[in-house]
Amino acid sequence: MTNTKETQMKTGYAAKRRTANIIVYVILSVMVLIWIFPIVWLVLQSFNTVDRVSSHLFPEGFTFKHYQTLFTDPNVPYGRWMINTFIIAVLSCIISTLFVLMVSYALSRLRFKSRKKLLNAGLILGMFPGFMSMAATYSIMEIFHLDQQLFALVIVYSAGAGLGYQVAKGFFDTIPRSLDEAARIDGATSNRIFWVIILPLSKPIIVYTALTTFLGPWADYIFVSYFMKDNEQAYTIALGLYTLIDKDHINNYFTTFCAGAVLIAVPITILFTVMQRYYVSGVTGGAVKG
C-alpha cells in the first residue's frame, strides 16, 4: 500500500513537472520568435528587389544589388564608414580595457585612504548616462581643436572607462591573495604582479572587458551624431546608416540600409560566438564578489 502511494506521488509530481516544463518552453519559444522576427525581416528585406519600405515579410524578389550598392554608390561611402568605426572601436577597446583592468586591480588589491569613498563615488557616477556630459565634452574638444575628429571619439569613449570597474574588480577578488604574497616574498612589485601573474590568470575578464568596450563605439549613434555633425568623412556605421533612412533617402536606400545593417552585424556576431565561453566566464566570475 505504501509503495503504491509513493508511486502515485512520484507519478503526479512527474506529471506536474512535465506540464510546468511544457508551459515554460512554450513561453520561451514565443519570446524567441518575437525577438528573432525583426532580425529575419531585416535580412529578407536586404535581398528585396524594391528600394522602398515594404510591409511584406517576404521580399517581392531576390537580388544582391543592395550589397553591391554599399561599395559602389558614391552617395553611400560604406567602406569609409566601416574603416572609421573599426579604427575608433579598436583604439577605444585597447585603451578602455587597460584602464578598466588597472583600476579594478588597484581597487581590489590595494588598501588606501578614501578607497571606500572612491568605490561609492564611481558607483554613483556610473548611474548617470554618458550623454548628459555631451555639451561640456564637445566644448572641451573645441578648445583643443579636436571637434569633428575621430580621435575625439576615442577620447570620449575611453576617458571614463575606469568607472566600469565593478565586474572586473569582482573577478580579481576571486583570485587568491596568496599569489600576490608569494610574489612579494620573491621581490615582485605590484606592477609586476599585475602584468606577469594576475593578467595571465584573467583571460575571461579580459575578453569580457574587451568585448563590451569594443561593442559600445561599434554601435554608438548619439555621440557620433553630436560630435561629427556634417563631417560625413568622419561618420561611423551607425550614423552613416541612419542617413540612408532619413526623409530624403528612405524611399531610395531603405533596402540598402537593411543590407548595411546585416553586413555590419556579421563580424560582431562571429566575435561573440567565438568568445562566448570566455564572455560568460567573465560575467559569472565577476558576479561572485562586488
Would you tell me how many other CB atoms lie within 10 Å of the CB of residue 240?
Answer: 23
Sequence-separated (6 or more) residues with CB below 8 Å from residue 75 = none
**Cβ pair 97, 213 in contact under 8 A:** yes
Cell numbers 567565438 correspond to what residue? 274
pLDDT of 191 strictly over 80: yes
pLDDT of 63 strictly over 70: yes
Q: In terms of Cα–Cα distance, which of 140, 109, 103 is closest to 123? A: 103
Q: How confident is the model at residue 124 (pLDDT cuts 50, 70, 90)?
A: confident
pLDDT tens, position by position, 221-268: 888 988 888 888 889 999 999 988 887 788 888 899 999 999 998 888
**Cβ pair 100, 162 in contact under 8 A:** yes
Q: Is 238 helix (H, G, I), strand (E, B) or coil?
A: helix
pLDDT tens, position by position, 29-49: 999 999 898 888 889 988 888
Domain residue extents for the chain: 2-65, 70-286
CATH architecture of residue range(s) 70-286 = Orthogonal Bundle (1.10)
Grid cell digits, residue 176: 587568491
Grid cell digits, residue 161: 572607462
Q: How much is the pLDDT for 290?
A: 45
Overall average pLDDT of the 143-169 stretch: 87
pLDDT of 2 strictly over 60: no
pLDDT of 118 strictly over 90: no
pLDDT tens, position by position, 80-103: 999 999 999 999 999 999 999 999
Q: Is 47 helix (H, G, I), strand (E, B) or coil?
A: coil
CA-CA distance, 285 to 170, in Å (whole number)? 7
Overall average pLDDT of the 161-172 stretch: 86
Task: Using alpha carbons, list the distances in angstroms from residue 173 to 36, 84, 108, 155, 226.
Answer: 37, 37, 6, 29, 38
